[in-house]
Amino acid sequence: MAVTLKTLPVSLSAMDVMLDAPVIPVIVLNDVAHAVPMARALVAGGIRMLEVTLRTPVALQCIELIAKEVPDAVIGAGTVRSASDAQAVQLAGARFAVSPGYITELGRACRDMGLPLLPGVATGSEIMMAQADGFSELKFFPAMQAGGMAMLKAWSGPFGDVRFCPTGGVNAQNAPDFLALSNVACVGGSWLVPSSAMEQGDWAGITALAAQAASIQR
Ligand code: 3PG
């Protein structure tokens, strides 16, 4: 079944990245050969904002390949921790960046480069630092370990102008509950791209997981 994807603005914002689908897949690629079929499988299921983490030696090469070969995907990079990471991923073709924490150097670099960034936060002080630098669309990481839904509910008072993407321990079972919270725009998770499915070349299985994730109400 072909999935119809809406037209995106030429210049993406962090909110565009968050609102495109209920789930941003957190992808760890160990094999360059998996990059393109994995990206196509996710797009076929209706998920095109893809976060390829900078955790393996082939990550940048995979970002570059997906950017070139899968035009319907919007390739992004995760585990971006420094200005030089941000420069490297943009050069490889990434159109957004996600970080596990926040430092001003990274925020400034992404702003100067026009690269939308979802900075990672886990405390009120980190939210305040990110907001002081102009970022109000944030990744809550590691979400389950750092307080889960109760933490997001507590933050909705003092940080009512922030929208979160909880990531870390989010799965198909608890994602609907996270997405029902008013301050959650989307969630992130690796459950859509199990390494076993990639090893086995089970691309149809990944499409099915993506289609299920894309259909979660928020
Ligand atoms: C991440 O690595 O950004 C998240 O930890 C992904 O977490 P998960 O594997 O629990 O989805």
Atom 6 of ligand 1 has which residue's CA nearest to it?
168
Is the residue at 9 inside a domain? no
Please indicate, yes or no, if residue 185 is contained in any of the structural domains: yes
pLDDT tens by residue, 187-204: 999 999 999 999 999 999
Q: pLDDT per residue over 70-104, tens digit each?
A: 999 999 999 999 999 999 999 999 999 999 999 99
Look at the alpha carbons of 126, 55, 97, 50 in this order and tell me if their dihedral is positive or negative: negative
Ligand 1, residues 54, 118, 141, 195: which to mutate, most atoms within 8 A of Cβ? 141
Specify if 214 maps to a domain: no
Of 24, 67, 65, nearest to 48 by C-alpha is 24
The rounded distance, in Å, linking the Cα atoms of 143 and 153 is 12
Average pLDDT over residues 164-170: 98
- For the stretch 27-58, pLDDT in tens is 999 999 999 999 999 999 999 999 999 999 99
b vs e for 69-102, b when ≥16 Cβ sit within 10 Å of the residue's Cβ? ebeebbbbbbbbbebebbbbbbebbbbbbbbbeb
69 is catalytic: no
139 is catalytic: yes
SS3 of 93, please? coil
Does residue 6 fall inside a structural domain?
no
Cβ pair 147, 185 in contact under 8 A: no
Please state the domain count of the chain. 1
Catalytic residue among 64, 139, 153, 199: 139
> What pLDDT score was predicted for residue 117?
98
Q: What is the pLDDT of residue 92?
A: 98
Residue 218 within a domain? no
In this structure, are residues 28 and 55 in contact, taking their beta carbons and an 8 Å threshold?
Answer: yes
- Residue 3's pLDDT is 66
Q: Whole-angstrom Cα distance, residue 5 to residue 173?
A: 25
Reported confidence tier of residue 7, pLDDT bands at 50, 70, 90: confident
Structure tokens that stand for 75 in this block: 């390739």
Give the rounded percent of residues in the chain with a pLDDT score beyond 90.
94
Q: What is the pLDDT of residue 9?
A: 85
pLDDT, average across residues 177-190: 98
CATH of the domain at 95: 3.20.20.70
| Boundaries of domain holding 93 | 14-209
- Which of helix, strand or coil describes residue 86? helix
Which mutation among 23, 26, 50, 178 tests ligand 1's pocket best, with the greatest number of atoms within 8 A of CB?
26
In a domain, 7, yes or no: no
Confidence category of residue 24, pLDDT binned at 50, 70, 90: very high
**Pairwise CA distance, residues 27 & 39, whole Å:** 10
195 lines ligand 1 (CB under 6 A): no
How much is the pLDDT for 168? Answer: 98
Residue 175 CB less than 6 A away from ligand 1: no
The mean predicted confidence, pLDDT, of the chain is 97
Which band of pLDDT confidence, cut at 50, 70 and 90, is reported for residue 2? low
Q: Is residue 90 part of a domain?
A: yes
Strand residues in 54-92 grouped as ranges (E): 74-78
**Residue with the nearest Cα to atom 4 of ligand 1?**
168
CB 123 within 8 A of CB 158: no
170 vs 3, more confident: 170
25 C-beta closer than 6 A to ligand 1: no
